[in-house]
Amino acid sequence: MSTATSVGYRVLENARLDARNTFGVRATTPLLVEVRDATVLPDLFGGVIPRDPSTLVLGSGSNVLFAGEPPGAVLALNTRAFGTTGDEGGRALVRADAGVVWHDFVLWTLGQGLSGLENLALIPGTVGAAPIQNIGAYGAEVCEFIHAVEAFDRTTGQFVRLGPGQCNFAYRDSLFKHEPHHYLVTAVEFALARNFIPRLGYAGIAEELAAMGIVGVPRAMQVAEAVIRIRRRKLPDPARLPNAGSFFKNPIVPAAHTGALLAIHPSLPLFRTGDEATRKLSAAWLIDACGWKGHREGDAGVAPTHALVLVNHGNASGMQLLGLARRIADSVQARFGVKLEPEPRIIGVEW
Ligand code: FAD
Ligand code: EPU
């Protein structure tokens, strides 16, 4: 591997990506470009980086599966600034560069007395990736707090600022997810509350707070602590057992179809979606019911603590993990007639 450094960016040739994806699978790129200053992007695209869609933007690799090599260059944003930018409608505006670590940013906002992001504590990854799949957990979605997304438009070479209404946010979905070669997110601005209104409806949070000895209305930092404790119990730490969190999205199905499923499987969990015509099913429950939890094929496996999490026990390849995922999805389709869709971005092959 050779390295060259220029103002605002660094280029590494033939770079390994094994440590840059939380599945820990082997992958390499002929060209890794680490950007420290987003203003160099217009010069980079069409210069060091070809102006075609082949370049993959990578955050911390906690929602990608390298089933093959990335087709071209890989660009990582190492931009790290964040701070308060103003006030609007009684809420504080805070802005963070794409390269900021999400959980560090959440803790910083809470430390500033700002709330909203507490239920999203400990989600791995970067601020820049948060809008891509509209990260969500424990009854909150990041789109509720996004004031603007700043991006570099790879098709025009211009910087743009998009309001949340332009981003098509939905459950684990956004405009950015559908057009991965169009927008490179450079920063996100959030609108956060100064008056804390706790959101404790998601199963387990109130119980965790009680177990922590918190009585009455909790503080936002305490809600974050409860979420962190639940997450540490349920989800394997990628540093110990490499994984990418939930491998499948929870399927959204027509409400009319759920009656027949419930008649056969009365314990099937069903969740409201905000649209009375549909219901969300638990992919973990469906996979668990097919007997996959804790299953292992060589080094590719399913976490013993959560049926939705595929894990790499050591040297599984991306293709081995993908093969296991496909068999899991086929078995859920065969038994329940429900189609599972992967959540992480799969690189190199089609799902
Ligand atoms: P990457 O994995 O590097 O990239 C993900 C996608 O975003 C790729 O398509 C990539 O090209 C694109 N991308 C990244 N940065 C940019 C950018 N700046 N501009 C344009 N595109 C970009 N997710 C949840 O929603 N909720 C959870 O509770 C949750 N829990 C998890 C738990 C574990 C243990 C793990 C490993 C993952 C979990 N995830 C969860 C998934 C993951 O943390 C999120 O999707 C996170 O936002 C990914 O961030 P990243 O920086 O690692 O992105
Ligand atoms: N369940 C099982 N078996 C299991 C695990 C769970 O049957 O092994 C059932 C239980 O009935 C449980 C239900 O699934 O009540 C839901 O489980 P959990 O609360 O863990 O949530 P999830 O639907 O599996 C989703 C997100 C997670 C997020 C949690 C908390 C998706 C695809 N996943 O998981 O996000 O952290 O809710 O809000 O929506 C991720 O996206 O990577 C991720 C980890």
Q: Which atom of ligand 2 lies closest to the CA of 249?
A: 32
| CATH number, domain with residue 8 | 3.30.43.10
DSSP, collapsed to helix, strand or coil, labels residue 211 as helix
Q: Compare 231 and 274 and report the one with higher pLDDT.
A: 231
Same domain, 72 and 88: no
Average confidence score pLDDT of the chain? 96
> What is the model's pTM?
0.98
pLDDT tens profile 220-251: 999 999 999 999 999 999 999 999 999 999 99
Q: How confident is the model at residue 101 (pLDDT cuts 50, 70, 90)?
A: very high
Asked if 172 is an active-site residue, the reply is yes
Asked if 219 is an active-site residue, the reply is no
Same domain, 7 and 130: no
Work out the average pLDDT over 299-317. Answer: 98
**Does 275 map to a domain?**
yes
The H or E element spanning position 208 is: helix 205-211
**Does 238 map to a domain?**
no
Q: Which atom of ligand 2 lies closest to the CA of 269?
A: 11
**Whether the predicted pLDDT of 4 surpasses 80:** no
Same domain, 48 and 111: no
Give residues (CB < 6 A) around ligand 1: 22, 56-64, 77, 98, 123-126, 128-130, 132-133, 135-137, 176, 180, 184-185, 235, 238, 243-245, 345
Containing domain of residue 129, as a range? 82-214+222-231
**Whether the predicted pLDDT of 351 surpasses 90:** yes
Same domain, 191 and 316: no
pLDDT tens profile 197-224: 999 999 999 999 999 999 999 999 999 9
**Does 237 map to a domain?**
no
Same domain, 123 and 208: yes
Tell me the longest C-alpha to C-alpha distance in the chain: 64
* 347 exposure class (CB count in 10 Å sphere: 0-12, 13-18, 19+): buried
Q: Is the Cβ–Cβ distance between 42 and 152 less than 8 Å?
A: yes
Structurally, how many domains does the chain consist of?
Answer: 3
Alpha helices in 272-316 (DSSP H): 283-289
Same domain, 55 and 95: no
